[in-house]
Structure 1
Amino acid sequence: MSDELLVVRCQLGERDALAELVRTWHKPVWTYVRRMLDAERADDVTQEVWVAVLRGLPRLKESGRFAPWLFTIARRAVADRLRAEYAQPPPETQPQPAGPQGDAFEAALDRAELVGALSALPVRERDVLALFYLEDFSLEDCALICGVPVGTVKSRLNRARRLLSEHLTRKGYGHELA
């Protein structure tokens, strides 16, 4: 069943349609939020997103634009959480215990390096990068979700790629990025 039909059914008060929308879109929303935050915060923020969807669904005028509307809500929820956390003093870091050695350790380091590089990107660039490359939204939908012109999305994607490349090059991964 199409999202558009599910949205209309939700707006008519059908609980089964809402359950189907949540089943269909919960994982993509959580994955997007997780790419912006850690897993624990992603669970909380995703729950906030669905509460906002439940409240706002009756007012959604273009039922065919559900996905961009949903990800706009998710983006705003992430931004709100980050804004609230940036206002708090940073927590003290604990020293990490020595980990396993070998190929698994190297793979974990490579993944940690990539995750670190992504999280080091400015939020706007990370946001657009996640929406475009990881959630497969078009440039136009990214622009709609972020509330900016398509040209701004393109420039943020370009900057995100450049910053990611520079970070990984500094860490010794440059020869693989060329």
Structure 2
Amino acid sequence: MTLGDRIAQGDETALTECYATLGPLVRHHVARLVPGHAVDDVVQIVFLELWRARRRFDPSRGLTPWVLSIARRRAIDRLRSEARHYRRAAPLEEAGPIPDAALAVDAACDVREALAVLPLAQRQAIVLAHFEQLTQREIADRLNVPLGTVKARTSRGLRRMRELL
């Protein structure tokens, strides 16, 4: 009985043997894809998933390619996860000078006053777009108006706010 057959049948000793046999290959494969600090985590996740998905494994297709495909997918998941994390967190030295809180409050008050001057339809379009982060199509659906109307209201409102600010 092959190692793959034993894994598919749920033999826990086969998992240990698989880790001993394929672990270095998986580590080498993962190390080419993810940063060094993440290699051990990804390798552990690979063998955990191998064990959890053992019922889906087809021994006739080969254990090594299956394990390496899991490793590749988990490495890509890790890269995507880290990319999302780095996009969210800007390093302080790259963020530039820290703005004065009083200036930020003043600017917010100015924007609020400028919004209050706008006609209701323009104000609604701008608030939905910038504060609720809706697309123009979503705004049109919510307000039950044509898309072109939303575009015109937003454009006119922003132009008027630029003049006021």
TM-score scaled by length of structure 1 = 0.46
* Higher RCO by CA contacts (8 Å cutoff, separation 6 or greater): 1
